[in-house]
Amino acid sequence: MVITELLEKNARLYGSEVSLVEINPSEERDRAVTWRDYSLIEMSRPDAPYRREMTWSQFDKKANRVANLLLSRRVKKGAKVGILLMNCLEWLPIYFGILKAGCLAVPMNFRYTSEEIQYCLDLADVEVLVLGPEFISRMEPILDKIPGVHTMFFVGKEVPSFAENLWELLGYCSKEAPAINLSEDDLAAIYFSSGTTGFPKAILHSHRALMGACLTEQKHHGQTREDVFLCIPPLYHTGAKMHWFGSLLSGSRAVLLRGVKPEWILRAITEEKCTIVWLLVPWAQDILDAIDAGKVDLSHYYLDQWRLMHIGAQPVPPSLIHRWQKVFPHHQYDTNYGLSESIGPGCVHLGVENIQKVGAIGKPGYLWKARVVNDKGQDVATDEVGELIVQGPGVMLCYYKNPEASAEVLKDGWLYTGDMARVDEDGFIYLVDRKKDVIISGGENLYPVQIEDFLRKHNKIKDVAVIGLPDKRLGEIAAAIIEIKEGFTCSEKEIQDFCQELPRYKRPRRIIFSRVPRNATGKIEKPLLRQTYGRTRLVEAQTTN
C-alpha cells in the first residue's frame, strides 16, 4: 500500500467527516463575543474568519484536481514539484496531489532566503513550484536564475505576473483520481537537511518510507478515530507531517494552528477538543511561564480530553517535563528522536510507559533498530559513548546527486546519524553530544559557518566562532565568540546592529569578545569553546529551573 491509498480509503469511509481544520488567530476579526462568553463544556463554534475546515472527501478531491492539473501540463511521473507555503489548509491536499500524479513532493523551509530558495530548487531539479504570497519578494530577485522551473502556481488572491492562479485552474480539472500506478518502491519526496557548512542536502525518500512513518507513529501514540491532533510546527518539516500521518492512518481529525501564543494553543485545544498535542520545548516553556505569571488561567479552558503531550526536534530538559507533570498530572508524555534522513520522528522514542526515564530519547521505535557504535562500527559497552546508528523502513535512499555524502552516512544498511550517545543498563539511549556543530534553537537548525561567514564581513572582526549554548526556553542559542582586530574597539550593540541583515532566527543571541582558539591544523577548537562558555551557561540555566 502507498500513502495516497490511505487518503482515498478515508474519503470512502468517512467522506463527510472533517479531516483538517485551520485556525489563524492573527486573522480573527470582529467577533461578536469574546472567548470567555462561551460555556467551556457545551462549546458552540460560531462562524469566524479565522477558522476553516475540510472534509475527507474534499481533501481527496482537491488532491485529485492538483494531480490532474500537473498531468495536464505534461508533468511526467518522477518530476519534482516544490512547495513553498506557510502552514495552511491547502498544504496537505497539494502535497498529496503531487504524490498522486507520480511526482516527487519537495517541501521547502519557509524561512529560506532568496539565495537558499534558488540553491534548493536547482539542487532538487524542481520543475514546478507552488508558492504563497509571503514569498513573492523572495522569488522576484531569482526569477532569471532558476531556468529549470518552467511553471509556478500561486496560492492566494493577488497573483504575481510570474505565476498562475492555482485555485482558478483547479476548477477546470477532474476531481477523479488519475490513472497513475504507484508502488512502495516509487520515489515520493525530497526533503532538505544540512550539515555544518550550512548548504542543504537533498534527502530522497520512497513511498515505502512514508508508509513506514504512518505505521510507526500510530503504533507509538495509539491514534484512534476519536483523537484530534493539534499540529503547530511547519508542515515542510518531516516531524510535523509524519506525526500527522498517525491521524491519516486512523482517519482522525487534525487541527493546523498558525500561531504559538500559549492562550492560542490552549484555546484551540478547548474549542477543537484536541487530545494529542506535539510541542517544541520553547512552546511548552511559554505555556508554563504564562501560567506561573498569571497571564493564563487554566480554569478558562476545557482540557480534560487532552491525553498526550509529546515533544521532539531538540533535546528536552528533564526539569521541564517534571514541571509540566506538576501542572498537568493526567497527561501522558513522550519524546521522539528522528532525522529527515530517517523520515522524521520515531526511529527512537521514549514511550509513554517510560516516564521514569525522562532524559533519555528512548529505545528503537516500532519497525526500527538502533545501535551505538565506535569508530570501527562495533557496539560500545553500557554507558560508553559512541555514534548512534539506525536502521528501518524510513532510512533515506540517498542524498540526491551527492554520492560522496551518501557513502559517509549509509553503511551496510545503517544510517550513521552523527549524534553521539550512550546506552544505559536498561537499553535506553541518551544523547551526549553531536558530531556536527549544527545548533538546534527552538526546533530550527542554525548553521554556524553561515553566521561566521557573515560576521567576518565586519571590518573590525579578525576571527569568529559560533557555537550553541544551553538555553532554558529554546534548548540552545547561538553564541558568537568574536576576536577583534588589534587596534580596534567594538561594542556588542555594534555587532547586533550589523546582524540586522541576517534573518532574525540566525542572529547570535550572545556576543562574547575573546580570542578564537585554533589547533595546529587551523581548525577552530569548538569543543574547547563549548566547554569554556557552555558550562557557565548550563549552570545559569539549571539555577533558574
Question: How much is the average pLDDT of 431-435?
Answer: 69
In this structure, of 244-248, 307-311, 424-428, 450-454, the range with the lowest mean pLDDT score is: 450-454
CA-CA distance, 108 to 237, in Å (whole number)?
A: 8
The reported pLDDT for the residue numbered 485 is 85
Check whether 437 has a pLDDT greater than 80: no
Check whether 149 has a pLDDT greater than 50: yes
Check whether 35 has a pLDDT greater than 50: no
Q: Is 238 exposed, middle or buried (0-12, 13-18, 19+ CB in 10 A)?
A: buried
Check whether 406 has a pLDDT greater than 70: yes
Question: How much is the average pLDDT of 412-422?
Answer: 91
Check whether 31 has a pLDDT greater than 70: no
The reported pLDDT for the residue numbered 196 is 37
Total residue count of the chain as it appears in this document: 545
* Average per-residue pLDDT for the chain: 88
The reported pLDDT for the residue numbered 216 is 95
The reported pLDDT for the residue numbered 537 is 46
Q: Name the grid cell of 326.
A: 506538576
Report in angstroms the alpha-carbon separations of 423 from 283, 362, 366: 29, 9, 18
Check whether 531 has a pLDDT greater than 70: yes
Q: pTM (2 decimals)?
A: 0.81
**% of the chain at pLDDT higher than 70:** 91
Check whether 359 has a pLDDT greater than 80: yes
Check whether 530 has a pLDDT greater than 90: no
Contact 204, 399 (CB under 8 A): yes
Question: How much is the average pLDDT of 164-183?
Answer: 96
Q: Name the grid cell of 10.
A: 478515508
Report in angstroms the alpha-carbon separations of 534 from 508, 522, 527, 540: 15, 22, 10, 10
Contact 480, 465 (CB under 8 A): yes
Q: Could you list the beta-strand ranges (E) of 71-199.
A: 80-84, 104-107, 126-131, 151-154, 164-165, 187-194
SS (H, E, C) 174-218: CCCCCCCCCCCCCEEEEEEEECCCCCEEEEEEEHHHHHHHHHHHH
Residue range 5-26, pLDDT digits in tens: 999 999 999 999 999 999 998 7
Contacts of 199 (CB under 8 A, 6+ apart): 119
The reported pLDDT for the residue numbered 450 is 77
Residue range 489-524, pLDDT digits in tens: 999 999 999 999 998 889 999 999 999 887 544 467
Question: How much is the average pLDDT of 484-489?
Answer: 87
Judge: domain 336-434, CATH 2.170.190.11: no
Give the single-character DSSP code of 223.
-
Give residue 545's pLDDT band: very low, low, confident or very high (50, 70, 90). Answer: very low
Check whether 42 has a pLDDT greater than 60: no
Contacts of 134 (CB under 8 A, 6+ apart): 86, 110
Residue range 68-117, pLDDT digits in tens: 999 999 999 999 999 999 999 999 999 999 999 999 999 999 988 899 99
Residue range 49-75, pLDDT digits in tens: 589 999 999 999 999 999 999 999 999
- Please give the CATH topology (third level) of the domain spanning 3-327: Rossmann fold (3.40.50)
Residue range 252-273, pLDDT digits in tens: 999 999 999 999 999 999 999 9
The reported pLDDT for the residue numbered 520 is 43
Q: Name the grid cell of 459.
A: 571590518
Question: How much is the average pLDDT of 437-459?
Answer: 82
Check whether 157 has a pLDDT greater than 60: yes
Tell which residue, 190, 273, 284, has the closest CA to residue 233.
284
The reported pLDDT for the residue numbered 435 is 65
CATH for 441-544, options being 3.20.20.70, 3.40.50.620, 3.40.50.720, 3.30.300.30: 3.30.300.30
Residue range 300-357, pLDDT digits in tens: 999 999 999 998 766 677 878 888 999 999 999 999 998 899 997 789 999 999 999 9
Residue range 188-197, pLDDT digits in tens: 999 998 543 4
Where do the structural domains in the chain lie, given as residue ranges?
Answer: 3-327, 336-434, 441-544
The reported pLDDT for the residue numbered 198 is 55
Q: How many CB atoms lie within 10 A of CB 95?
A: 23
The reported pLDDT for the residue numbered 34 is 34
The reported pLDDT for the residue numbered 411 is 97
The reported pLDDT for the residue numbered 403 is 97
Give residue 118's pLDDT band: very low, low, confident or very high (50, 70, 90). Answer: very high
Check whether 243 has a pLDDT greater than 50: yes
Q: Name the grid cell of 449.
A: 559557518
Question: How much is the average pLDDT of 467-496?
Answer: 91
